Amino acid sequence: MSDKADALTPFRVAVPEAVIEDLLDRLARTRWPDQIPGSGWSYGTDLSYLRDLCDHWRTTYDWRAAEAKINAFPQFTTTIDGANVHFLHVRSREPGALPLIITHGWPGSIVEFLEIIGPLVDPRAHGGDPADAFHVVCPSIPGYGFSGPTHDPGWDIGRVALAFKELMARLGYDRYGAQGGDWGSMISRTLAVIDAEHMVGVHLNMLVAFPSGEPGELEGLTPDELDRLQDGARYEADGAGYSKIQGTRPQTLSYGLTDSPAGQLAWIAEKFREWTDCGGDPESAIARDVLLTNVTVYWVTATAGSSARMYYETFRSSALRTFEPSTVPTGVAVFPKEIFRPVRRFAERLNPIVHWSEFSQGGHFAAMEQGPVLVDDVRTFFRLVR
């Protein structure tokens, strides 16, 4: 490209061996806390579970194999609004493929999507219809993973959405769709609001839709709808401590997580246990090496603090307080162990929902837990809007 500021630079993950050796050394020298006997997970991440997982990380886990898996996909970096943006860009061979930007959240990464990119890009090779093919753009949110830390304030979901709008324009895509969960859901929805002229549809597997507070709006809700609201209240009361800390003191938190791999793993593994459909055993939903790859991305890029700042910045912006109505056709996939299961009548106030699916299994990390199901739902939705 003529403007160096707009250049797309090919990228490959190549973590220095010294970084891996340092990780293994730190794991070997972990200073372990005490735990009340028999308390399990009731106070947070269980000590015996974490010690076993750290031992596996140190003695058995193979980062180089994971690195090679990531590097099997074409990757690039570019500078947008002063931030480095890393992304996978996997083009389909199908002539009618639709560009699709898929976005992770916290504590996720591009690792969430490694198993579903192939079926999205090449449905023909995975038993699907070639007409459902996508060109996949899979960015690391600025401040996360291989995008590296951000270096100025203000990187809330709105600013990320503006960056991704620019990214799709740089790639030459003037007609595209978006998909996401967690922060990726909010970023994708915001992208639909600010780039509606180019967006054909947005598919979300965590749509946040709160009651407005209007008198009488809770009257007539079904038992299931009331249960969804109660689940949200329970999460706020007992499950949102991480969010309060990251939203108020991300810098203080970052010292421990950046210095201790055991601390970083404990901070993230707890969420994989709480937010997956796992019956208390996170590895029944997501293989331990996949979990460790996701955590290792945070560790080798030292992005614990910068990723946490997303909470601080977003909670202080208007982004979560004043959702603007969207005009872009919206598809919603609801998994039973999601943090927030939306009530459709509330979701439809601000979103033109044309596709709504409810599933019997799966949780917050849908692409990891229920990849084929999510792929099928994405395909089904985008058939309506291609």
Nearest in space to 138 (alpha carbons), one of 95, 186, 171, 96: 171
- Which among 311, 312, 355, 377 is annotated as catalytic? 311
Q: 282: which 2 tokens?
A: 């996170």
- For 342-376, b/e burial (b = at least 16 CB within 10 A) is bbbebbeebbebebbbebeebbbbbbbbbbebbbb
- Which among 46, 203, 364, 377 is annotated as catalytic? 364
The amino acid that residue 384 corresponds to is L
182 among known catalytic residues: yes
- Which among 46, 122, 156, 182 is annotated as catalytic? 182
Per the CB < 8 A criterion, the answer to whether 298 and 147 are in contact is no
E strand intervals along the chain: 9-10, 75-80, 83-90, 98-103, 134-139, 176-180, 199-204, 330-334, 353-358
Q: 17: which 2 tokens?
A: 């061996």
At residue 330, the 3 state secondary structure works out as strand
The amino acid that residue 25 corresponds to is D
At residue 353, the 3 state secondary structure works out as strand
277 among known catalytic residues: no
The amino acid that residue 83 corresponds to is A
364 among known catalytic residues: yes
Nearest in space to 135 (alpha carbons), one of 184, 102, 109: 102
Residue 160's Cβ-side half-sphere holds a number of Cα atoms within 13 Å equal to 32
The neighbour count for residue 323, using CB atoms within 10 Å, is 18
Per the CB < 8 A criterion, the answer to whether 334 and 358 are in contact is yes
CA-to-CA separations, 263 to 16, 27, 200, 285, 338, in angstroms, rounded: 22, 10, 42, 22, 25
Measured CA to CA, the distance from residue 246 to residue 269 in angstroms comes to 16
Residue 17: partners with Cβ closer than 8 Å, 6 or more residues away: none
- Active site residues per annotation: 182, 311, 364
